[in-house]
Structure 1
Amino acid sequence: MRILISNDDGYFSPGIEALAAALSPHHDVTVCAPERDRSAASNSLTLDRPLSIRKAPSGFFYANGTPTDCVHVAVTGFMEHPPELVVSGINHGANMGEDTIYSGTVAAATEGYLLGVPALAVSLASRSPRHYDAAAQVAQDLVAHCQRQPFRGAVLLNVNVPDLPYAQIKGFKTTRLGHRHRSAPVIKAENPRGEPIWWVGPVGEVADAGEGTDFHAVAEGYVSVTPLSIDLTAYAQLDFISTWLPE
Structure 2
Amino acid sequence: MKILLTNDDGIYADGLCALSAALSCEHEVYIVAPEAERSAVGHAITIHYPLRVKEVRRGKFFWGYAVSGTPADCVKLAIYELVGPVDLVISGINRGANVGINVLYSGTVSAATEAKILGYPGIAVSIDAYENIDYCFAANFIANFIKILPSLPLKKPFCLNINIPHLNPNRIKGIKFVRQSTAPLKEFFDKRLDLHGKIYYWQGAEEHTET
- The normalised TM-score by structure 1 is 0.78
Residue matched to 2:134: 131
Q: CA RMSD in A?
A: 1.8
Residue matched to 1:158: 161
Letter in 1 for 2:176: K
- TM-superposed CA distance for 1:129, in Å, is 4.4
Matching of residue 13 in structure 1 with residue 13 in structure 2: yes
Which protein shows a greater Rg?
Answer: 1
CA 126–178 in structure 1, closer or farther in 2 if over 3 Å, else same: same
Measured in 2, the distance between the counterparts of 1:163 and 1:63 equals 30
Q: How does 1:135-154 map to 2 (within 5 A)?
A: 135-147=138-150, 151-154=154-157
Measured in 2, the distance between the counterparts of 1:15 and 1:74 equals 20
1:148-184 CA-partner distances (Å, limit 9, x unpaired): 5585320000000012343432110011233545523
CA 56–153 in structure 1, closer or farther in 2 if over 3 Å, else same: same
Structure 1: 5+ residue stretches without partners:
210-214, 216-247
Residue matched to 1:82: 85
Residue matched to 1:172: 175
Residue matched to 2:191: 188
Q: How does 1:1-247 map to 2 (within 5 A)?
A: 1-58=1-58, 59-79=63-83, 81-147=84-150, 151-180=154-183, 182-203=185-206, 205-206=208-209, 209=210, 215=211
Structure 2: 5+ residue stretches without partners:
none
For these two proteins, the number of residue pairs brought into alignment is 207
Which one scores higher on RCO, CA 8 angstroms, separation ≥ 6?
2
Q: In terms of mean alpha carbon deviation, does 34-43 or 192-201 score higher? A: 192-201
Q: Look up the SS of the partner of 1:127 in the other structure.
A: coil
Q: Look up the SS of the partner of 1:145 in the other structure.
A: helix
Measured in 1, the distance between the counterparts of 2:46 and 2:124 equals 21
* Residue identity (%): 37
- TM-superposed CA distance for 1:203, in Å, is 3.4
Measured in 2, the distance between the counterparts of 1:32 and 1:181 equals 31
Measured in 2, the distance between the counterparts of 1:150 and 1:25 equals 26
